[in-house]
Amino acid sequence: MKTAVYPGSFDPVTLGHLDIIERSSRIVDELVVGVLNNSSKNPLFSMEERVNMLKEVTSHLSNVRIESFDGLLVDFAVRCHANVVVRGLRAITDFEYELQMSQTNRIMCPKLDTIFLTTDLKYAYLSSSIVREMAHYGGDISAFVPAAIIERVLEKFI
């Protein structure tokens, strides 16, 4: 049984994240999307909101579950019995940080490998902060986030 974790802040989940979730769920037996309670970020959405949005937009994927976590990714991966971490690479600028993270994780947990999926070109520019900024100024975010969560993002800025 191959279990992978896909970690991130998902504040909020974007179509780019969903693309990575859908594609990686076809590669592994089980995918655990790990929503990080990141103390260095001040999230727009509570942990419960981020988890619920992810559950809703991945409900069509039977081998995907959503969990929250604190602390080190390696500890979360061990708790999930995962031996693979999935990360998306959007552009070359992501690479240095991702390389450092995957190498550090492997030193801490040698059985844990990271696989990288190149983000669909359609979403190469996308990030959660772009979504938040667009919504803040009342922009159309339908090309950036799943339809089911558009209203919830816009409501945050009313």
Residues that bind ligand COA (CB under 6 A): 7-9, 11, 14, 16-17, 20, 36, 72-73, 88, 90, 101, 104-105, 119, 123, 126-129
Cβ of residue 100: shortest distance to ligand COA, in angstroms? 7
In the set 9, 50, 87, 90, the catalytic residue is 90
In the set 24, 50, 128, 132, the catalytic residue is 128
In the bound state with ligand COA, the residue whose beta carbon lies nearer, of 109 and 154, is 109
Would you give the end-to-end CA distance of the chain in angstroms?
45
Quick check: is 128 catalytic? yes
Q: Cα(158)–Cα(150) distance, rounded to whole angstroms?
A: 13
Quick check: is 68 catalytic? no
Quick check: is 2 catalytic? no
In the set 41, 122, 136, 156, the catalytic residue is 41
Residues in the chain: 158
Quick check: is 65 catalytic? no
Q: Which amino acid is at 33?
A: V
Q: Cα(11)–Cα(14) distance, rounded to whole angstroms?
A: 8
10 Cβ contact list (under 8 Å, min separation 6): 17, 33, 35, 50, 53, 54, 128
- Any idea which residues carry the catalytic annotation? 17, 41, 90, 128
